[in-house]
């Protein structure tokens, strides 16, 4: 609890007051940490949920400054339009939504290949496009979430579809950053290693959790990249590996 309070205090000085921020995947472990941090800093957070059940489970749903949108699949243009279509002036868009699948490529079906591309790359690309339009030339920040294998390709053996889709996110980030820099939009990404979440602990019960980055620590990097205090960093894919 003290760690979380410290993080909230650390970012309360950032000028998110009155700023609109979209956080896809905001109902997940990392997303919830990001939303909590931004709310403490005065942001208004729009959080798209896949369905009403996910919205109901979201622990921060009743916090002041939270707006939930039951949007559906963000790899669909109509779903993205439900999130961004009426948002008004947008300061930042943070794209955490995605999914993971692990299998050797020879055992990976076409459906899974397409699923990984849709969940990780296509949803990110569509949300980036909508965010740029919603910023309307007024400047802003976009932060994507890649993954360690997106930078270290050989570490993606056994999860090729996931690795390729996240590498696409990294390439998208660098190319888009160059494209929209003249509009005052700074685009960056973080590339986490395995994070310390209950689900990951359950999946890897014998791992050394102390080596894994905590979601609050990764959220702190995202919050900085999305903030007005980030005045110059663009096109970066920032490793957030902790000690792992």
Helix (H, G, I), strand (E, B) or coil at 93: strand
Query: Whose CA is closest to 84, among 135, 125, 36?
Result: 135
Contact between 141 and 226 (Cβ < 8 Å): yes
Q: Which residue has the tokens 């979601």?
A: 215
Is the pLDDT at 8 greater than 60? The verdict is no
What is the rounded average pLDDT of the residues 34-59? 97
Is the pLDDT at 178 greater than 60? The verdict is yes
**Segments forming the whole domain that contains residue 155:** 2-240
Q: How far is CA 34 from CA 142, 210, 234, 239, in A?
A: 14, 21, 20, 17
Predicted confidence band of residue 185 (pLDDT cuts 50, 70, 90): very high
Is the pLDDT at 1 greater than 50? The verdict is no
Q: Give the pLDDT of residue 13.
A: 57
Give the alpha-carbon dihedral of 48, 54, 56, 60, to 10 degrees: -60
Q: Give the pLDDT of residue 134.
A: 97
Predicted confidence band of residue 197 (pLDDT cuts 50, 70, 90): confident
Do the bridges between strand 237-240 and strand 44-49 make them parallel or antiparallel, or are there none, so unpaired?
unpaired
Q: Give the pLDDT of residue 3.
A: 47
What is the rounded average pLDDT of the residues 143-150? 98
Q: Give the pLDDT of residue 213.
A: 86
CATH number at residue 225: 3.40.50.720
Between 4-18, 67-81, 139-153, the lowest mean confidence (pLDDT) is in 4-18
Alpha helices in the chain (DSSP H): 2-11, 29-40, 52-57, 77-84, 110-116, 123-135, 148-151, 160-180, 198-203, 215-226
Rounded distance, CA 128 to CA 23, Å? 12
DSSP states of 182-215: GGTEEEEEEEE-S-B-HHHHHHTTTS-GGGSPBH
Mean pLDDT of the chain: 93
Q: How far is CA 44 from CA 19, 66, 90, 141, in A?
A: 6, 6, 10, 15
Q: Give the pLDDT of residue 6.
A: 44
Q: How far is CA 226 from CA 21, 115, 181, 243, in A?
A: 9, 28, 14, 24
Rounded distance, CA 167 to CA 163, Å? 6
How many folded domains does the chain comprise? Answer: 1
What is the rounded average pLDDT of the residues 211-240? 96
């Amino acid at each position: 609890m003290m760690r979380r309070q410290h993080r909230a205090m650390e970012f309360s000085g950032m000028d998110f007051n009155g700023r609109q921020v979209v956080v896809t995947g905001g109902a997940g472990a990392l997303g919830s940490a990001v939303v909590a941090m931004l709310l403490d800093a005065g942001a208004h957070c729009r959080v798209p949920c896949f369905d009403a059940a996910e919205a109901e489970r979201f622990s921060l749903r009743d916090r002041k400054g939270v707006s939930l949108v039951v949007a559906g699949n963000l790899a669909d243009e109509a779903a993205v339009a439900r999130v961004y279509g009426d948002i008004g002036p947008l300061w930042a868009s943070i794209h955490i939504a995605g999914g993971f699948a692990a299998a050797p490529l020879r055992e990976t079906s076409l459906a899974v290949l397409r699923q990984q591309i849709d969940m990780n790359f296509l949803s990110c690309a569509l949300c980036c496009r909508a965010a740029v339009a919603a910023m309307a030339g007024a400047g802003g920040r976009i932060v994507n979430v890649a993954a360690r294998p997106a930078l270290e390709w050989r570490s993606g053996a056994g999860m090729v579809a996931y690795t390729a889709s996240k590498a696409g996110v990294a390439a998208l980030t660098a190319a888009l950053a160059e494209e929209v820099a003249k509009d005052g939009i700074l685009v960056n990404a973080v590339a986490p290693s395995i994070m310390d979440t209950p689900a990951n602990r359950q999946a890897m019960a014998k791992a050394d959790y102390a080596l894994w980055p905590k979601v609050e620590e990764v959220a702190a990097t995202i919050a900085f990249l999305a903030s007005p205090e980030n005045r110059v960093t663009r096109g970066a894919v920032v490793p957030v590996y902790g000690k792992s």
